Amino acid sequence: MRVCSTKGGVGKTTVAINLATSLQLRGYNVLIVDADSINPCVGLYMGLQDVNVGTFEVMRGKIDARRAIIPHPVTGLHILPGRTGSEDAKYTKAQVSQFFKTIVALGYDFIIIDTQPGIMFPDNLDAYDEGLIVTLPFEASCLSALKMSQLYSKKNLKTNVVANRIRGKRYELSLREIEELTENHVIASLPEDEKVDVSIAEHIPIYLYDKKVRFNKAITNLADVYTSRVALDREAPTHKDRGFFSWFRRDRG
């Protein structure tokens, strides 16, 4: 899935790493890919600061994906980091397409791609099963989420919205209003929590801190949605040999 928004700083990376951690801790094999060429933060947030190669080096064929992927010592997650200073994020369409084929072939149960703000990056939306659009509970953020969702639906990419940093203030949009404005289902509502910043400062996903924190409960609920889809797939007798990705593809549209 592609965690995305046209707006910066709404919590894409926070959602991506904590959802990934939650899924990994249930025993799934999860790969998180940092596809942010401007400010790659997955490694930074998870304590992998000194990275020489990453997503774009793999994309441009400079290094094999398996050599660039780093097992995260604390969570067990596999991380394909972004390299800070990887300003040369140029690649051809064929390279992007080969990149997705390569990482899907590695056999992970879930692949979560953390993207930079913006619409079309990387640009082959066919590779994704779902766009998880993160928004704040405000009009401008929701309208930009709507724009993104409309564009994705033209390309047959299914989307859901994650509402982040909910404080329950009167001036915030309600979940119903967010759904109306974004024309999407709000698949998760994540509260504002100071511990998110604390966890980032300590380079560890907040999900490892304390599952009882409301933020983590909401992440657990979000992970439940995805694990139940996989469970359904595994139980379906006629599709036993299909992977997670093909199941998701059937679910489209």
Ligand X SMILES: Nc1ncnc2c1ncn2[C@@H]1O[C@H](COP(=O)(O)OP(=O)(O)OP(=O)(O)O)[C@@H](O)[C@H]1O
User: Which two three-digit tokens encode residue 60?
Assistant: 């441009």
Contact by Cβ (8 Å): 133, 15: no
DSSP class of 30: E
Q: Which stretch binds ligand X (CB under 6 A): 12-20, 58-66, 73-81, 169-177?
A: 12-20
For position 117 contacting ligand X by CB under 6 A, the verdict is yes
Q: Read out DSSP for 13-24?
A: HHHHHHHHHHHH
What number of other Cβ atoms are within 10 A of residue 224's Cβ? 13
Q: Edge-to-edge strand order for the sheet containing 2-4? A: 70-71, 78-80, 30-35, 110-115, 2-4, 131-135, 159-166, 186-191
Binding ligand X by CB under 6 A: which of 125, 192, 246, 249? 192
Q: Read out DSSP for 204-227?
A: S-GGGT-TTSHHHHHHHHHHHHHH
Element (H, E) at 144: helix 139-154
For position 189 contacting ligand X by CB under 6 A, the verdict is no
The C-alpha atoms of residue 228 and residue 248 are separated, in whole angstroms, by 12
Partner that binds at residue 82, options ligand X, Mg ion, none, CB closer than 5 to 8 Å by kind: none
Q: Considering the complex, state which of residue 24 and residue 135 has its C-beta at the smaller distance from ligand X.
A: 135
Q: Considering the complex, state which of residue 41 and residue 69 has its C-beta at the smaller distance from ligand X.
A: 41
Q: Which residue reads 């790969």 in tokens?
A: 31
Q: State the minimum distance, in angstroms, from the CB of residue 180 to ligand X.
A: 22
Q: Which stretch binds ligand X (CB under 6 A): 18-26, 34-42, 59-67, 96-104?
A: 34-42
Q: Which stretch binds Mg ion (CB under 5 A): 22-30, 35-43, 152-160, 183-191?
A: 35-43
Q: Considering the complex, state which of residue 39 and residue 84 has its C-beta at the smaller distance from ligand X.
A: 39
- Look up residue 145 and give its amino acid: A
- The closest alpha carbon to 2, from 242, 248, 169, 253, belongs to 248
- Residues between 165 and 184 with contacts to ligand X, criterion CB under 6 A: 165
Distance of CA 108 to the CA centre of its chain: 14
Partner that binds at residue 117, options Mg ion, ligand X, none, CB closer than 5 to 8 Å by kind: ligand X
Partner that binds at residue 102, options ligand X, Mg ion, none, CB closer than 5 to 8 Å by kind: none
- Residues between 44 and 83 with contacts to ligand X, criterion CB under 6 A: none
Q: Considering the complex, state which of residue 41 and residue 133 has its C-beta at the smaller distance from Mg ion.
A: 41
Task: Name the 3-class secondary structure at 163.
Answer: strand
For position 218 contacting ligand X by CB under 6 A, the verdict is no
Cis upstream peptide for 122 (omega within 30°): yes
Q: State the minimum distance, in angstroms, from the CB of residue 11 to Mg ion.
A: 8
Distance of CA 239 to the CA centre of its chain: 26
Q: Considering the complex, state which of residue 57 and residue 193 has its C-beta at the smaller distance from ligand X.
A: 193
Would you tell me which residues interact with ligand X (CB under 6 A)?
Answer: 8-14, 36, 39, 41, 116-117, 164-165, 190, 192-193, 196-197, 200, 215
Residues forming the site for Mg ion (CB under 5 A): 12-13, 41
